[in-house]
Each structure stands twice: as structure tokens, then as C-alpha cells.
A and B are shown apart, each in its own frame.
Chain A
Amino acid sequence: MSDTPPQTPPGSATPPAGQAIKPASRRDRPQTDAESRWHGVFREITSGSAIISVLAVVLALLVGAVMIAATNDDVQQSAGYFFSRPSDLLGNVWGAVSGAYSALFQGSIYNFGRDSFAEGITPFTETLVFATPLIAAGLGVALGFRVGLFNIGGRGQMLIAAAIGGWVAFAVDLPYGIHLVAALVAGILGGALWGGIVGLLKARTGAHEVITTIMLNYVAFYLVSYLLREGFLRTPGSNTPKSPASKETAVFPELLGADYNLHLGFILVIAATIFTWWLLSRSNLGFQFRAVGENPNAARVAGISVQRMYVYAMLLSGGLVGLAGINQVLGTTTSGFGATVDSGIGFDAITVALLGRSRPWGVFVAGILFGAFKAGSFSMQAAEGVPIDIVLVVQSLIVLFIAAPPLVRAIFRLPTPGDTPRRPRPIIVTEVAAK
């Protein structure tokens, strides 16, 4: 680091020096300055955080393109006679990559093959459908991150939410409207319950949440499997482990009519995003959450009950993930669900939360981006035969590159902007005091 404080007396001034270095080298997250917020925002814009994000996406897509091209049969064949006709290879590479990515775009944003705008925009509504559970679960994971908890238990929380909410949806008779709300609340409570167990165990016994969430994932999976096979979730007279279909009164209404799959879940997710934003940045509880997340010891000294915060945080986190679970049952697969109704969303949510940097609106955008990838990957596979897994590669690379701005800057030879951290004032004070 170039900004090492010069010849401070080793004994006295070392601790402030150590503190002062941190914000300088972790440029993206200034923490200690009093005016850090506005200063941080300013620095973030000048250092081109948005540019980094765009470049990260570009880089990830480039890597994906290399993989698509390298495994394409035509490309491999024309690579065999590259030196006699190099144009063949380049043409084939271009064909493979552009074909795949245009299929990805047309499957997720806008299909130019259709006549009217109303039909052409259908893929984008599909994107929002895929994004809905990702955002909800991503918010839950992000909330956990902000309190310093790593919630890998999305799968279990979604399954329990789907089981309880799904049971209300197909087994209980209630009037229109009330039924929907009842099933929704039951699902959210189910997820909150499953998450709350983790919080309670951590608070009461100190059990590490990474262990308990992973273990509860398996417990929930086998529990729901059993209930689907022999318990109260079983479809009478059927041998397949699948629940009965949700009743009409509990199903989310379609937002844009029957031609589109977009349903009420998306509105709920927007509300959940606003709620999480309000909770984390405007409410008293959220302040305590963040205090615990930044430094549990300091929070305890400040009079915050760290244990209680863990329980509340896991309850809320589980509830948000539960929203994703119940969304699947009431919105996406209303014809009955199996034990894999979570379809990996609980794990995808971790990536979504990371890409959104655990900020509610960041998670929202990240969820839509990942939803687009998911929606587009199917048409990419159908049209070009490119395996869906390429999307996982691109998604993970995006998160990786965004997390490491210096790497992206180094690759694109960008200057290191904002490299003018103010000389930390405390050091000067101590030096003066020492003299």
C-alpha cells in the first residue's frame, strides 16, 4: 500500500494507523469516517462502481462465449483446418456465440420473432416470474448477511413454507381472498418457523448457524418427502409423491391476463423489498440488526441483546425465504408440488444476495438479472443446444468479478480512480501529541 503512514512511533501510534488504513484499502465500504456515507457515495460514483458492474457482466459473458465456442462441433471441425481457411473458424465462432446469446436475449427480454409488442414482450414477463422467488429468497439471505448470519437453509425453509402453505391451499375451504391470505401467511410462518429454530438454537446454545441450516435442509427434505408419500400432503389415490393441486380460491391471480404467467407474487415481492429496505435502513430493529452484523461485541456493549437479534433476524429471514416457497405453490406450480419444489432457489438466493451486496434494492435488481438468465437459458438450450449450465458459469463469474473491482480494473487497464484517500487525521493528532 502506498499510503502507509510514514515513520509513526511503533508503540503508541500503531493502533490508529491500523484503523486508518482500513477504509483506504477497502475503498468500497468506508465505515469509520463520520461523514462516510456521502463521502462513500461520492467516491463510489467517481471510482466507477457502475462501470465495474457493466464490465464484470461483459467479462463473464466473454468467458461464457469462449466456453460455448470451444465446445461447438462446427468450431472444432473448422479449427482442424484453421491455417488453410481461418475465416471458417471465425465465422463459426461468431455463429455459435451470437446464436446462443441472441437466443438468451430473446428468451428473456423481447422476442423479435413475434408480430406484436404484446406477444414479443412475453419473455420479459417470464423473466419476472422466474425472478420473483429469487428476489424473495435473496432478501431473506441478504437480511441474514446484514446481521452476520449465513443462512444456507433456504431449501428447508422453502420446503416447509410450501408444505404448510400448500396444505392450507388445498385442504382448507375458505372464501376467495381470505383463503389466499391464509395460505400466504401460513407459508411465511412456516418458513419463519424453520428459520426461527436456527436463530433460537444459535441464541440459546451457540450452535453454528451454518451447521444447523444445512442439517435442517435435509430434515425438511425428508420430512416433506415422507408427508408427500404417507402423510397429510399425499394425494389420495395416487402413488406419485405429489400433493393435490391448490384450490382456485388460494391461487395468485394473474396480473396481465391469462396470456401471461406473471402473477400476484411479483407485487408481493416488490412489497417485501420495500419492507426489507424500510426495516433495515429506517427502523429501530434494523439499526440493531446492522449493529450486531457489524460488530456483535460492540452491539452488546451498547445494550443490544445480540441473542434476541439473532432470533428475530432468523425469523424474518426464514419468513422472506418462506415467501419464495409459498410463491412457488400458489403462483408457479399450482397443480401440486413434489419434494423438489424449491428447485435450488434456496442456493441461488445466496448468489443473488451476494450480487445485490445484501442491499434490498440491489437484491431486487440482481434477482431480475438472474431471473432473465434462467428464463433465457431454456430457449438457449432449445434453440442452440447450449446446456443450461453455462448460465451458472456466467452468473457466478459476474458475482466474482463484481466482488473484486481491482481485478476488473487490471484486466481493462482502467486507472485506479479515487486513489486519494484523505490523510487520516487521527495520526497527525497523535503525532502532535507525541511531540
Chain B
Amino acid sequence: MSTIAPVSLPTQPTPPDDGPATAVIRSWKTPIALGIFTVLGAIMLVAFGRDGISTMVLSTTSDLIQLPTVDFPTRATGIVISVLLLAIATGSAWLVRNSRKTPIWLIGVFAFLLLLGFLAWASAGASIPIPGLLFGSLSLAVPLIFGALGGVISERVGVVNVAIEGQLLAGAFTSALVASITGQPLLGLLAAMLAGVLVAFVLAAFSIKYFVDQVIVGVVLNVLVSGVTGFLFTQLLAPNAATLNQPPKFDRINIPFLSEIPILGPVLFRQTLIVYIMYFAVIAVYFGIFHTKWGLRLRAVGEHPQAADTVGIKVAATRFWNVSLAGAIAGAGGAYFTLGSVGAFGKEMTAGAGFIALAAVIFGRWDPIRATLAALLFGFASNLQSVLSIIGSPVPSEFMLMLPYLVTIFAVAGLVGRSRGPAASGKPYIKS
């Protein structure tokens, strides 16, 4: 991929539109994006540099292995990081000049450095609890990850899932109701998955059986679920909050040994059952989609249903059951709102998380691992804002809140670019 025939004339206009690329086109997008980020970073870190010492606390008080706190002199750190950023951006430009791609790990290092510089800059004269920051990020990301996994499965099998929001909300509502009545959070989780499946059934029935435009069904389902849960909440849950809307929450489970790993242990392994299920789901979906017969069929149906039909795969049935599975996963994410974090159902409590999950799916290019990482990024950015507002950030909180979304736009425009989904996603398959 990284080699190009050097004889290709530079005068030949390279079409920017997609199409079968016969030669690797030198894309300057990555170095330009990195350059913009470097300039922005340097302006912030050097031109608006702040004096003081930034402290990062790496351990919680309950850890067995106590790490020392790390102190950064803020201004010097900013200058060093700006230089490193510039070096990486230049390196990327040099690679592109030689018709090679910028390796993904280099972009990762770049992002990490930029983040570190930002953290140091924002926390001048204060200390940031790193485990707390990461723990909160993961908590915010859990429903997004469940939703994104549901989205990935559904879109990979060829049904655009705009209804993630509805599935999350339905899951949140049902889990709160069932867990309150039975007193069992586990039953609440199961009910949430069932509710997600129910929403997915409608999506599947309308899009696969009646060939209704999938985006239409998805959007409408979101409104429908929002209306039904809001109606039932006002009529039933709110007047009887003590009996119907007080679900028991999942207990935290510390995994022995693993939970004592410095920094990561408290973040990853002192979580509730639902988060452990999430880890399992990410790995299972990844392995299932790319390494099993089920996944191969699923992808075949999503990419080229006619071909899949020709070799004897039942397209409609495959789509139907996999969309239902996706609904179950997204529904479980909804349960996290009520049984994992908040502890009671509230009207519209998902607040657009399903749309963020949808963005994570596309950002992650329909890959479960990458979509998970994108969801984590969203969770991290939202949580960063709340942490920084506690220690008193120099930036108005609105701009901090805006940051993740701006970064996503830049990243999608600069780094990801034209993301191509499964070929048959969104198209009904009409068997001839």
C-alpha cells in the first residue's frame, strides 16, 4: 500500500472522489491536520503558557501500590511538548512527501502528547487525580460502547441503526421498572435487553419485511420510545416512585490482584457487573464478526446480500436475528443508566447518547474495537470537563464541553476522511 509508482506524473489531476484507487494518492490530509493541531497546541502551551507546577496524582488512597505524584513545571512541559508535536507533524509531512502513510501509532503518540500538554496546562498550580479522571471517563463511555456495539452489528448486517437512542432509553426504562418491582438488578438487566430487542424487532420488521427506509424507521422509533417512556413515566413511575422507580443498583466487584494494578487496576477492575459484561461484549463482538462463521455470514449479508443469497445464506433471517441481537446489546447499555450510574429513571435520561454512539460507530469505521475507542474518547472528553471545572480551569466551561465535539469534527474531516460503511447498509434486499 505504501509504495507508489514514482513515474506517475504530478500534472495528472487526482480525483478526490471515491472510486477504485489504482495508485496510492498522496494524501496531505494527515500532515495538515497534525499541523493545525500543532499550531493550536503551541498557541495554547507557549503563547498562552501558564506558570506553576502541575501535579498528577496517579494512585487512589485505597491502592496497595502507592505511586508517587508526578510534578510538571507547566511552562517547560508546554514548550517540550510543542517541540515534540512539531517534530511529529514534520515527520508526517516527510513521510507523505515520500509517498508513505503516517503510521497510526504516530498519530496515537501525537494525540497522547497533545492531551498530556493540555492536562498539564489546564491544571497549573493544581493537581489532577488521574485514576478518578479515567474512572469517570469509563463510566460515561459504558452506555456509548454498548450502543456502538449494537450499531456495529446492525450496520454490518445491512440495517442502519439510528434507533440506538431508542434502544438505550427503552432499556433504561424497563430495567428501572423491573428491577424496582423484583428487587433484582440482574432481572432488570435482562428486561432491558428484552426491551432493546423489542425496539429492534420493530426496526427489523419494518425495514426487512416492509422495506421502509431504515433511517425513517430509526428516527421514528426514537420519537416513539421517547413518547412511550415519557408518558408512562409521568403516569406511572413519577406518582409511585417508591415502588416503581427505586431500582437496586449493581454492587461494585473488585477483582482480586487485577484491581491492584497501578493506575489501570482501580479504573478497569473495580467496576460493576455490567461493565465486566461490556468488556466481554467488546471482545466477543470483535472475535465473532471477524473470526467466526457467524461473522462472515453477517458481513457477507451486509456487503453483498445477493451474493450471500446465492450461496444459500438466508438474507432476511440473518438480518432479522442480528438486528435483534444488536438491540439486546444496546438495551443492556440502557440498563447502565439506571442500574449502574443514576439509580432511577428520568425522562429523556439518555440525552442523545444514542446519537453519540452512532457517531462512534462511523468514527470507528464500523469496527467494534475502534468504535469502542471512539466511545471512550467521547466519555473521556465529557469527564475531563467536569474534572477541570472542579479544579478551576482557565477556559470557560462551555468551551471545554465543546472540545470533544470539535475534536471529533477535526478528526473525522482530517484523519478518518471518507469512511465507507458496509456496501449494502441501508438498502433493503428484495429477493428476486
B212 touches A403 (CB 8 A): yes
A182 at the interface (CB under 8 A from B): no
A110 vs B363: C-alpha distance in the bound complex, in angstroms?
Answer: 49
A207 vs B236: C-alpha distance in the bound complex, in angstroms?
Answer: 43
Kindly specify which of B54-62, B317-325, B411-419 makes contact with the partner chain.
B411-419
What per-residue 1/0 map shows which CB atoms of A194-218 lie under 8 Å from chain B? 0000000100111110111011101
B362 touches A211 (CB 8 A): yes
Kindly specify which of A20-28, A48-56, A121-129 makes contact with the partner chain.
A20-28
B227 at the interface (CB under 8 A from A): yes
A392 at the interface (CB under 8 A from B): yes
A393 touches B224 (CB 8 A): yes
A215 touches B359 (CB 8 A): yes
**Which residues of chain B have C-beta atoms less than 8 A from A222's C-beta?**
398-399, 401-402
B111 at the interface (CB under 8 A from A): no
Q: How far is the CB of B421 from chain A (nearest CB, A)?
A: 9
B236 touches A71 (CB 8 A): yes
A219 at the interface (CB under 8 A from B): yes
**Which residues of chain B have C-beta atoms less than 8 A from A397's C-beta?**
224
What per-residue 1/0 map shows which CB atoms of A1-45 lie under 8 Å from chain B? 100100000000010011001100110000000000000000000
**Which residues of chain A have C-beta atoms less than 8 A from B29's C-beta?**
205
What per-residue 1/0 map shows which CB atoms of B44-58 lie under 8 Å from chain A? 000000000000000
Q: A205 touches which one: B223, B359, B401, B418 (CB < 8 A)?
A: B418
B226 touches A392 (CB 8 A): yes
A207 touches B228 (CB 8 A): no
**Which residues of chain B have C-beta atoms less than 8 A from A211's C-beta?**
359, 362-363, 408-409, 412
**Which residues of chain B have C-beta atoms less than 8 A from A407's C-beta?**
206, 210
B224 touches A396 (CB 8 A): yes
Kindly specify which of B71-79, B102-110, B214-222, B262-270 makes contact with the partner chain.
B214-222
A403 touches B430 (CB 8 A): no
**Which residues of chain B have C-beta atoms less than 8 A from A14's C-beta?**
432
A306 vs B228: C-alpha distance in the bound complex, in angstroms?
Answer: 40
What per-residue 1/0 map shows which CB atoms of A352-387 lie under 8 Å from chain B? 001000000000000000000000000000000001
B256 at the interface (CB under 8 A from A): no
B98 at the interface (CB under 8 A from A): no
A225 touches B398 (CB 8 A): yes
B356 at the interface (CB under 8 A from A): yes
**Which residues of chain B have C-beta atoms less than 8 A from A394's C-beta?**
227
A208 vs B223: C-alpha distance in the bound complex, in angstroms?
Answer: 23
Task: Tell me whether A216 and B409 are in contact in the complex, defined as CB-CB below 8 angstroms, given that A211-B362, A400-B206 are known contacts.
Answer: yes
A325 vs B101: C-alpha distance in the bound complex, in angstroms?
Answer: 44
A226 at the interface (CB under 8 A from B): yes
A71 touches B227 (CB 8 A): no
A403 touches B408 (CB 8 A): no
Interface residues of B in 203-254 (CB under 8 A from A): 206, 210-213, 215-217, 219-221, 223-224, 226-228, 230-232, 234-236
Task: Tell me whether A354 and B219 are in contact in the complex, defined as CB-CB below 8 angstroms, given that A223-B402, A392-B226 are known contacts.
Answer: yes
**Which residues of chain A have C-beta atoms less than 8 A from B221's C-beta?**
396, 400
**Which residues of chain B have C-beta atoms less than 8 A from A71's C-beta?**
231-232, 235-236
A351 at the interface (CB under 8 A from B): yes
A4 vs B416: C-alpha distance in the bound complex, in angstroms?
Answer: 43
A306 touches B17 (CB 8 A): yes
Task: Tell me whether A400 and B402 are in contact in the complex, defined as CB-CB below 8 angstroms, given that A206-B417, A216-B409 are known contacts.
Answer: no
A306 vs B359: C-alpha distance in the bound complex, in angstroms?
Answer: 24
Interface residues of B in 13-67 (CB under 8 A from A): 16-18, 29
B83 at the interface (CB under 8 A from A): no
Identity of the chain A residue whose Cβ is nearest the Cβ of B408 in the assembled complex: A215
A259 at the interface (CB under 8 A from B): no
Measuring CB to CB, which residues of chain A are less than 8 angstroms from any residue of chain B? 1, 4, 14, 17-18, 21-22, 25-26, 67, 71, 150, 152, 201, 204-208, 210-212, 214-216, 218-219, 222-223, 225-226, 229-230, 300, 306-307, 347, 350-351, 354, 387-397, 399-400, 403-404, 406-407
A-B contact pairs, 5 of them (CB 8 A): A206-B18, A211-B359, A215-B408, A389-B227, A404-B206
7 A-B pairs besides A214-B356, A225-B398, A351-B220 with CB distance below 8 A are A21-B432, A204-B16, A206-B419, A390-B227, A391-B227, A392-B231, A399-B220
Measuring CB to CB, which residues of chain B are less than 8 angstroms from any residue of chain A? 16-18, 29, 206, 210-213, 215-217, 219-221, 223-224, 226-228, 230-232, 234-236, 352, 355-356, 358-359, 362-363, 396, 398-399, 401-402, 405-406, 408-409, 412-414, 416-419, 430-432
Top 5 nearest A-B pairs (CB, nearest first) are A392-B227, A206-B418, A389-B230, A226-B398, A393-B227
